[in-house]
Amino acid sequence: LSYVAGLGWFLALAFPPLAPRTYMSENAMGSTMVEEQFLFGERALSYSREFAGHKKKAGGMPVAWLEKTLWNLGLEVHRQPFSRTLPFPDETRERYMVKGTNVYGILRAPRAASTEALVLSVPCSEGPHNNQAVGLMLALASYFRGQIYWAKDIIFLVNEHDLLGMEAWLEAYHDVNVTEVQSSGTLGRAGAIQAAISLELSSDVVTSFDVAVEGLNGQLPNLDLLNLFHAFCQKNGLLCTIQGKLQRSDWDSLPAYAHSLQTLLLMVLAQASGQPRGDHGLFLRYRIEAITLRGINSFRQYKYDMTTVGKTLEGMFRKLNNLLERLHQSYFFYLLPSLSRFVSIGVYMPAFGFLILVLVLKISFWAVGSGWGPFPSPWHPPPAGAAGLTVGFPQESQPGLLVLVPPLLICHATGLALYFLPVLGQRMATQHFPVSESEAVVLTVIAIYVAGMALPHNTHRVLAGGGSDRGWMALKLLALLYLAVQLGCLALLNFSLGFLLAATMVPAAAAVQPTGPKVLLAALLVLATPAVTLLLGIFLQRELVEAPAAAAEGWQLFLAAVGEGLLQHHLYGSFLFPFLALGAYPCWLLLWNVLFWK
């Protein structure tokens, strides 16, 4: 009943009573009464064409042209060369030794002392992508330069190699070295960055804007920044989407509920992956509120030109310019069934609480039923002569504690091997097998993961009394406690990941035991392993975006996701892979030990 209540509560989150309308909490941004005057749409297109020509001529980012153009606009211009050697080649983007240059210009605030700043960033992508975004950024810089009301410095940044360049710039700007990126050059600094907007635009006109909010490790920006974008889109008539879904107006109908649930599930899957869905995702680590805006040019009839897009960005920056303090009034933990409705942490946490309650009830049943607690058990009465309660473990169960040591050591040693060996052993694997380095890393992960199921799980039998029922009861009690603590801590950092793991692992953890239908329990436990959860999540995501994947394609996406997860951890510090390797997988192996206990 508790498990069904948890799933039912989650499915009900898309209903309007549990998802109230969004509202602006920050007084300084409470109104969109700003008269936008940006009229440089044609200039933006001219800049984009010029940038595209120099980019094609240079075979990459035209650093010299960008510096000259920003300088002519009257900005303080800086460049930042950087380099990074990846732990193993990234075959998706065909890179290993990465070298690049970030270029940025600073518009100094005429009405303040450079204590605070805003950022407008544009990634310089390969090919024709994002040329229009660079052109619009330069046109906005030209327009902003002529205004006198700025109270915050504005940084116009063009970063190369997407997330790698952004991470290099953020580390250098804040004078830290978190991910071993090597950068050089004198960095000009503005004030403390209050907010950032990353812009991606690859066409002269747009039909809608899609906003990305998920950051590294599932972090989210303050909800007020999203509300600000939505308010100016409504003011200027721009269509705006989230997760690629346009919100519906008929909230009371069943199709509208299904549409909202799809959007909610897509956000949960994106947040659970722990991967930033845009350059904005790395700003959140530094307590900088940021979002990524992607211009979409689809088949819709109504098109919006650069002037309309520029006015929307101008309005947002003028509102952010009014901030007296960092964004803090609104929510940092939320889920979004649409852009105009949200689910706060106080509403969605009970769904996870009901799932964890299954483990809590099971732990209490085991503790009382086996007589291992401060209360006597009806099945294990206290020995004669004992007064009242038996405190702690009875004397005859002491060998059972020693029985737990071998399974714990073996399971966690397997987790350590899963974490360290794939990257450390990639060269040895390529020497003995006809595979590339990236393939060797991914296949080593899968091999160690599967091999963990075949390790000797009956080492407890060498100990006196190790094969008794009390031994596997103690191991299951420990595994349930371990799983409950892990998922509880994880849900506070990344609710979506904690909920998905709880929804899959809790039923198997509660049901597993060495007696009963072993084949059925083994199948249930295999389906509950984190790797299968990842595979099923990939198929579900493709179904939700209405692009279903075949079995072979899903397997290839699974292999790519494993490699990407390792890269994200080593490059940016994503905690998904170490959590699964060092926490969730050893815990699952303990449950596997319980199933095959003899």
Spatial CA neighbour of 342 closest among 244, 255, 502, 213: 213
Same domain flag for 475 and 584: yes
Residue 461: per-residue pLDDT: 55
Alpha carbon of 26 to those of 19, 290, 344, 470: distances in Å? 20, 16, 17, 58
Taking the CB of residue 259, how many other CB atoms lie within 10 A of it?
20
CATH number at 296 reads 3.40.630.10
Determine phi and psi for 154, rounding to 5 degrees: -120, 125
* Reduced 3-state DSSP string for 95-115: EEEEEEEEEEEEECCCCCCCC
Same domain flag for 283 and 365: no
Same domain flag for 406 and 309: no
Range of the domain at 182: 27-214+232-242+269-320
Q: Tell me, yes or no, whether 7 lies in a domain.
A: no
Q: Tell me, yes or no, whether 49 lies in a domain.
A: yes
Residue 186: per-residue pLDDT: 60
Predicted structure pTM score:
0.90
- Distance separating alpha carbons of residues 73 and 139, to the nearest angstrom: 9
Which position has the token pair 């240059």?
101
What the block records as the tokens of 204 is: 């002269």
Strands (E), 407-465: none
Residue 458: per-residue pLDDT: 58
What confidence tens digit (pLDDT) does each residue in 249-286 have? Answer: 777 778 889 999 999 999 999 999 999 999 999 999 99
Same domain flag for 510 and 557: yes
Amino acid at 11: L
Q: Tell me, yes or no, whether 11 lies in a domain.
A: no
- Distance separating alpha carbons of residues 209 and 570, to the nearest angstrom: 32
Spatial CA neighbour of 350 closest among 19, 6, 1: 6
Same domain flag for 406 and 285: no
Report the domain count for the chain: 2
Residue 392: left if φ>0, alpha if ψ -120 to 50, beta else—which one? left
Q: Tell me, yes or no, whether 282 lies in a domain.
A: yes
The 3-state DSSP class for residue 342 equals: strand
Q: Tell me, yes or no, whether 255 lies in a domain.
A: no
Same domain flag for 316 and 368: no
Taking the CB of residue 129, how many other CB atoms lie within 10 A of it?
13
Low-confidence ranges of the chain (pLDDT < 50): 373-399, 462, 464
The answer to whether 492 and 463 have CB atoms below 8 angstroms apart is no
The answer to whether 122 and 137 have CB atoms below 8 angstroms apart is yes
Q: Tell me, yes or no, whether 119 lies in a domain.
A: yes
